[in-house]
Amino acid sequence: NALVALCLGAGEHEKADQAATHGMAFSLLHGILGSAIAIAIMPSFLGRFTTDAEVLSMGLTYSHIVFGFATVNMASLAFEKIFQSVGRMKVTMVALIVGCVGNIILDPLLIFGIGPFPAMGIAGAALATGLGQVVGGVLPLIYFLRPNNSLLRLTGKPTLEAKPILKACGNGSSEMMSNIASSLVGMLYNFQLLKYIGEDGVSAYGVLMYVQFIFVAIDIGYSIGCAPIISYHYGARNHPELRNLLMKGLKVMGILGIVMTIAAISLSGTLANIFVGYDATLCELTRHAFHLFSFAFLLAGFNIFLSSFFTALNNGGVSAAISFLRTLVFQAASVILLPMALDVDGLWWAASAAEALAFVVSIGFLLAMKRKYHYFDET
């Protein structure tokens, strides 16, 4: 995505076409190989988590069908990034909405068998998910096959070159790190919560994670939407506009941070009641936890935006460092150390502490790299 936008900004349209075409080819190959490997290892993998024959059978049925659509899903993700690069987000948005709505409609039809549709149970749920992903891969393909005014063309014979593929993977390593870290830190949180509170703590943490994603989705969406524009102007060496995008992004993240923190604190009781209102003790625990956890939203947007900013500048190393420290190192350290001083409340303050430390690192990188990228230059 960053490379395509950089090439377009520099006026190198042929290189941009090649990057998009090769990226699409790699995504499809990744989908084919990944689905084949996943389907092959899934029986032994699931067998490590359950010995119940019925549960194992259902898990295999669902996973095999979903992984069967992995190639289409990869194509959908690749097209999404391509459309971001050329400013055609409406196509992606339409494909996403149609796919999600289709999944919602197909779920009851295929699971329970309504009208002419047969009842398929767990297989129906998997099939509905897969067919929803097909939309995201097919609609964008139709767009490119028809005459259009896009700045990109999927042309030429794609080749798989190790160096650019590894560089692209390295530039996107921050996103990979975020997903891996969230799983590892989630497990660490659960271990600590079981130690200090018990099962109610795990339930409260589950609510926090669901609600947190709703709040930070705005930060993530803004950052992802800005990335191709940042890459384009960096490629065009348009330093004043790069400065403008950076300053606007920081202002937006600051405003969003304040608004979301106030909203989260104000709504902590209401949100807890929606999710766990059936248990008064658990509801109060969740409300208290979310009240403390909410302060993390003050700085989360800055860190998300600046990590995405450096990815857009094709500096995967800095982006990955911010993401790695923010989502894994600082989070894990806070979850382990803060409860020693603050008891249970230390677990709920851990996210805020991690964001504060990551903010210091992000600003440090921003100041250290200013001469290389000229994003503070006014001319």
Q: Residues 313-324: pLDDT tens digits?
A: 988 889 889 988
| Predicted local distance difference test score (pLDDT) of residue 261 | 96
C-beta of residue 307 within 8 angstroms of C-beta of residue 326: yes
Q: What is the mean pLDDT of residues 217-222?
A: 89
Which residues have a Cβ under 8 Å from the Cβ of 98 and sit 6 or more positions away? 135, 139
| Predicted local distance difference test score (pLDDT) of residue 6 | 67
Q: Which of 33-47, 178-192, 339-353 has the lowest mean pLDDT?
A: 178-192
User: How many other CB atoms sit within 10 Å of the CB of residue 304?
Assistant: 26
Q: What is the mean pLDDT of residues 119-133?
A: 87
Q: Which of 16-25, 35-44, 63-72 has the lowest mean pLDDT?
A: 16-25
* pLDDT for 98 beyond 90: no
* pLDDT-above-70 percentage for the chain: 83
Coil vs helix vs strand at 117: coil
* pLDDT for 83 beyond 80: no
Tokens of 320: 């990955």
* pTM of the shown model: 0.72
Question: Exposure pattern of 323-335 as b/e (b: 16+ CB <10 Å)?
Answer: bbbbbbbbbbebb
Among candidate residues 359, 1, 327, the one with its CA nearest the CA of residue 178? 327
* pLDDT for 156 beyond 60: no
Band of the pLDDT at 8, cuts 50, 70, 90? low
* pLDDT for 5 beyond 80: no
Q: What is the mean pLDDT of residues 266-291?
A: 91
| Predicted local distance difference test score (pLDDT) of residue 158 | 62
Average pLDDT, the chain: 84
Q: What is the mean pLDDT of residues 72-87?
A: 73
Among candidate residues 335, 334, 306, 299, the one with its CA nearest the CA of residue 320? 306
Band of the pLDDT at 354, cuts 50, 70, 90? very high
Q: What is the mean pLDDT of residues 289-296?
A: 94
CA distance linking residue 305 with residue 321, whole number of Å: 14
Q: What is the mean pLDDT of residues 60-82?
A: 82
